[in-house]
Amino acid sequence: MSANDHLGAYADGWTNGDADKIIGSLADGYVLDDPNEGKITKAEFANFLAGMKEAVAFGSTLEPLCGLFQILIDAVTSVILKARNPPPAQLR
């Protein structure tokens, strides 16, 4: 496999989230230096990518809940503010 073939397979693997394709394009001494996870060896790469996919999937399932939590926070805040500052009594 030429250097261009390795780079193409590496890029395609990342594009498609295919750990086997990425690993197949790597040299035996490959180490990914991830700022959050530290050094990831070729042998550890499949688990690293699986964990990354889980984290991304988990984050995407939380997004709709964030809107619901904001609605709840706004409602509770409104109730608290009204309790602290009741409107003046209406004149009869």
Residue 16 resides in a domain: yes
Determine contact, residues 33/45, Cβ cutoff 8 Å. no
Residue 15 resides in a domain: yes
Residue 91 resides in a domain: no
As given in the structure block, the two tokens for residue 56 are: 């991304």
Residue 89 resides in a domain: no
What is the average per-residue pLDDT within 42-71?
Answer: 77
pLDDT at residue 33 is higher than 70: yes
Residue 90 resides in a domain: no
pLDDT of residue 41: 95
pLDDT band at residue 62 using 50, 70 and 90 as cut-offs = low
pLDDT band at residue 31 using 50, 70 and 90 as cut-offs = very high
Within 8 A by CB and 6+ apart from 24, the residues are 9, 13
Tally of structural domains, the chain = 1
Comparing 1 with 13, the larger pLDDT belongs to 13
Residue 69 resides in a domain: yes
Can you give the residue range of the structural domain that contains 8? 3-84
Residue 92 resides in a domain: no
What is the average per-residue pLDDT within 1-17?
Answer: 85
